[in-house]
Amino acid sequence: MKTPAIQRTQRPPARHLPPRPLVVFDMALRQAGDSRYYPAVSGAAMTMSSVLHERKIADFAFMRLPFCQGGEIELDRKRPLIFALTVYDDLWLETKKELALIKEKYPTARIILGGPGVTSWSGSLRELHEHFPQADALVRGDGQPVIESLVMALAKRQIDFTKASKLHGVYVSEQGLAWRSEHPNRQDTIHFNGNPPLVHPFPDLIMDIRERRSLSFNTSIGCKHRCVFCSTIKRPPVYWRVGRIIQELLRIREMVEEGSLPLEARVITFVDDDFFLDRDRARHFFQTLKGHPLLSDYFRFLFQSSVSSLLQQGQPDIELLDLVAPNNHFICLGTDGFHPKALSFFRKGNYTLDQALDLIKAIKAREIKQVHYVILTYPQITRQELLETLNILEETIVQDYNPAFHYDIAYFLSVIENSPLWQLFQTQHPDNKVNHDGNKVLAFNYPLDDTDLVRDLDTILKLPFPSKQDLEHALPSLDAIKKVQILQCIIYFTEIGRWPTSFDEIINCGDTIIQWMGIRFLRDQIERPGQPQSWLEWFQTPTRHIEK
């Protein structure tokens, strides 16, 4: 009896799946001449990469430095490439340069533009596209609800308009065809809290954390304030619930403990426009944190806030500040105007300058570190009002001096359109021009020091701690930069009427000294009009400044 032949079935041919698209987040654009470290993984880059990662829609990469500022990245040209950029009002020209370079280096790559510059654009998305013709898609509003479908539509050899036409707040264009929906995307509380876990130990995020010595993310979208200079989305804010924040903090703690995130991630910077905008949520957060066995003393937090959110019936909210106080946290306040007329112009009319100064004292009394963002000028400000502003700032810094918990002016900003400092700004930053929207008042960083002058003072001063006389005797042998920094110490501590007793005391107030001298520099430029000077040129006659 013959053995039946074994029937062999042929395997079906292997399916060759199309390569997964690669989304490149090119978010780290910065103002020309600004050397501060900007994170590659933050804001939209963090939230949307987590969505793509969780749902396996696309691979992704981060540009550490944009092409227009010398950055490089090698990408696989055989797979669909999509660059995603955030447009900021003060980086309009840099963004246009970046798009041109992307198309030069990767001609077939798609480009998505979103962010404040798109959402706050006063015209139609079609009109905005005329300024950025290389862009394949513009996104108005929140990017998370559309990023998945938009990436899949753009990853095709030809844009999938069937898929794109189902999206809100999107303008998509290719070879004369276009889809436009002007209604902005807005996540509600349910969707915002339902997004995938935010923080993942990506190599670029780890580098950001180590460089910035903190981990940054936001727990809300939008702001109810209508400050005249701000391009934040004007909408009712949506928030992570306290439970969602606690869940993310527990994940971060676990990753730090297992070593997948560096120890610097124990410093958390909440980059919400105003963490304290919902005061009930803020109170609930601190109360929950205090009672949690794994989190109560594990993290140090940096918060952004407005002055009004920390006031209750015009007085500092003592209950809320007492909840913040025990754990060496840090509050960055958008005080903005240090003159009553400036506050009025900036639409900060819900508090007065006196109330802001009272809040400064209440925060300091609880040994909470604080930073205040300041806008020096606005178009109608007079020379006298500007001098009064500088005097108020100087008086506040000197009177509120404390070596451990000092009050610090973090940035000086100048509203550039027709403001008194515009000529000086143009002289030192000739490449910066007024943004696309002439009706918008824009705030630009005005640097108060040369990059080299903000080196840590411990590179100059050596233990044992020198006396004032030792420093003065050493001045002739020092180079110009070191001389300037030593003079900052001498002048500042002479002004406040005491000499520091330790090396750490100078280090702790180093930023305050730099900002205080910056006030003197600007005031002198205003009082002595003429050819604008650089910071270093101004210091060539230091005795005059000591005697002031």
Our CA angle for 15, 156, 163, nearest 5°, is: 110
| pLDDT higher at 16 or 198 | 198
Q: Which two tokens stand for residue 185?
A: 């995307």
| pLDDT higher at 388 or 521 | 388
Grade residue 217 by pLDDT with cuts at 50, 70 and 90: very high
For 120-176, how does the pLDDT look when each residue is reduced to its tens digit (9 = 90+)? 787 899 999 999 999 999 999 888 889 999 999 999 989 999 999 999 899 999 988
- C-alpha–C-alpha distance, residues 304 and 302, integer Å: 7
- C-alpha–C-alpha distance, residues 120 and 330, integer Å: 30
DSSP, collapsed to helix, strand or coil, labels residue 152 as: helix
Pairing status of strand 137-139 against strand 170-174? antiparallel
Tell whether the model's pLDDT for residue 230 goes beyond 80: no
- C-alpha–C-alpha distance, residues 65 and 383, integer Å: 39
Rg (CA), the chain: 26
The pLDDT score that the predictor gives to residue 434 is 42
Mean of all residue pLDDT scores within the chain: 77
The pLDDT score that the predictor gives to residue 24 is 95
Q: Which two tokens stand for residue 480?
A: 């110009």
Helical (H) or strand (E) element with 206: helix 203-212
Pairing status of strand 220-221 against strand 215-217? unpaired
Grade residue 450 by pLDDT with cuts at 50, 70 and 90: very low
Mean pLDDT of 440-467: 39
What spatial distance separates the first Cα and last Cα of the chain, rounded to whole Å? 118
Q: What is the pTM of this model?
A: 0.78
